[in-house]
Structure 1
Amino acid sequence: MELFPHQDRALDETYQHNRVAYYLDMGLGKTFVGSEKMWELNTPYNLVICQKSKIADWKQHFEEHYPEYQVIVFDQQAIERVPPESVLIINYDKVWRRPELKKLQHFTMMLDESSMIKNEKSNRSKFILQLHADNVILLSGTPTGGKYEELWSQLHLLGWNIKKDLFMKQFVVQEWDDRNQQMKITGYKNVDRLKRKLRKHGAVFMKTDEVFDLPKVNDQIVKIAGTKEYKEFAKHHIIELGDELLVGDTAASKKLYLRQLAGVYNQNKLQYVKDLIDSTNERIIIFYNFKKEYAALTEMIDGPTASINGDIKDLSAYEEQENSITLIQYQAGAMGLNLQKANKIVYFSLTDKSELFEQSKKRIHRIGQEKPCFYYYLLTAGSIEWRMKEVLDQRRDYTDELFEEEEM
């Protein structure tokens, strides 16, 4: 398989390592680097753990480029015997429910989007950390989402057996939070030393702008007119909309309904999207959060529509028709998709997760893109969306706790 020079360089830098992390920016081809490293390690068995939406892509990748492997999607059925020269593919939500994997020996384990094990106390992370892999390959464009405290599980798999308390003491700045009566992370320290240590343990960091001159990025902030319903709910925390009663009796519910009142319940925003679609015959990608948004958008769109969400994965309209509209729910499609046939993304609503936000932008701004990329951020005037965008631009999550602090 012919690789790009930067991919060859990543493999050369880690030739002596059997535990590696390819922290390559989205669009630099981590899939090819990781699978080639797996092939070089040449163990009898191989295990790929990925998101559910990526299983079919990994299966196709190995069948197309590595026909010598027997590819097995380890999904519903139990497997009595794993044949040699095989690749087992399983998703993160299923892996910890397959205790027979603990019996697997002499294998290479590859984690696609290794940030999925950032919480070392989760079932998936605890299970993966207990597997007896001879070799480990970690793949991620955003290994921490800007939070270095979430690296510890990945460090452990790379063979750096530093204790969590010591890691936090050396690299994380904390201070006491009187309000919540606990330590609060306020920053990071010794970051260059941390990166040097990671490289020593087989980690490669690579950014797109170090490798390719990709087209220009253009951010368009669109101020959408607010509504009296938003103002009323923001003031009283309760509102009746037709047959629906929205009650913001907790910080989480109030934050949720403010987001929805700025989005799907704002007819001004829906009308702007319709006008934008009507103004072009080119492909448009729309990111959204909630099922109600999907329903409202699909009802409004007349032309060919592609969808990626928890229930549907159908990109046929995107692939085949230049005037298609592709609706993507963040959790289902912000990571891993190659959508560089389009050069316009509309953010109908914002995610509150920094990692998903950063990943979503790379769906079109990647290798193969020849046109300038346009991002339309539709922000309702006077709404929560402006603060969300500000926090996301700082590469931080907009948490319920942060929302509550700002309200107070």
Structure 2
Amino acid sequence: MGKVGETTLILDLDSLEHNYNYLRAKIKPETKFLGVVKAFAYGSDMVTIAQKLEQLGADYLAVAYVSEGVLLRKAGIKTPILVLHPLASNFDDLMAYRLEPSIYSRNILNQFLEAAKVQKQKNYPIHIKFNTGLNRLGFSENDVEFIAKETLQNGCIKIVSAFSHLAASEDKNERDFSLKQIESFKKLSNALKDSLGYAPMRHMLNTSGIINYPEAQFEMVRSGIGLYGYGNQTEVDAQLKPVATLKTIISQIHHIDANESVGYNRAFKSSRPIKSATLPIGHADGIGRQYGKGKGFVTINNHKAPILGNVCMDMIMVDVTGIDCKEGDEATVFGTEKSAEKFALGAGTISYEILTAISQRVKRVVTGA
């Protein structure tokens, strides 16, 4: 695309396709692939990304909440959609739009059974979530008989998959813990199969799991952050392509004298004459206050421009001393050359946070196929 004239998030679908093919190549041809598109597809554009993944042949999509799945169905997405954290208050909408719930506790199973009975469902697809060590959501070993009994007694539901989630798949120092999780999941899923008399599909691997534990790919894998160009490991990042590039422009340039301050609370005070540039992007756009005071930086004409003082709601000021630039020039917050991971690192956080924080008021532009 040409030069941006405002704060813009550029989404490259060719990069998404590259990442999908890279991850697909790491698993067996018969292994199914689930693309995670929750949180506006990691802060990008959920419908656009889902449409592309459907075109590429993804077997499943996953969202966090029912409302996200409804949005995809209304946009014409036909691919099966797993809802990772459904709430009982949304079960009617979930069934109306043929979304598939993750069932993670006795309480939520009972509530879904009641809702499915009222709707006169038959063999409605559900997914059983097991807790193997993340300790966030999930059934335990003691629940297997209960799950099977309720499922077999009630023809309104059918378990189509059992799954779990690795807690530290990217951390090689936690390999023993990850292997214990995998063995625990095998035990739980086998017990469920024996109790049901049939074998639901199994899935456990996330992006880092696909890379580090391919032997545990079972019948399906799930990828979120990898699809968007981040692999949580330097060597994997080098093989992926960031899908999102965040750019903005210089609104105004100021010449700041020694002993002058910049921004709210006079958080930056200059010890020498400098040149600052004001950019139309702030914490209402997803650039949190933690990136202020030099912890974050943008790139202007191939030069690093640190953030001066506090991040404002709609603006940041950056140090462009020594940079040949003018009002209207582009500034890149993150993208291919400087990844979101590198930007986030300055504030001690991770790519997931900065990506998913990008406000919906930021203009989206799609490039690629």
Do these two structures clear the TM 0.5 threshold for a shared fold by scoring above it?
A: no
TM-score (norm 1): 0.34
TM-score (norm 2): 0.36
Bigger RCO (CA 8 Å, 6+ sep): 2
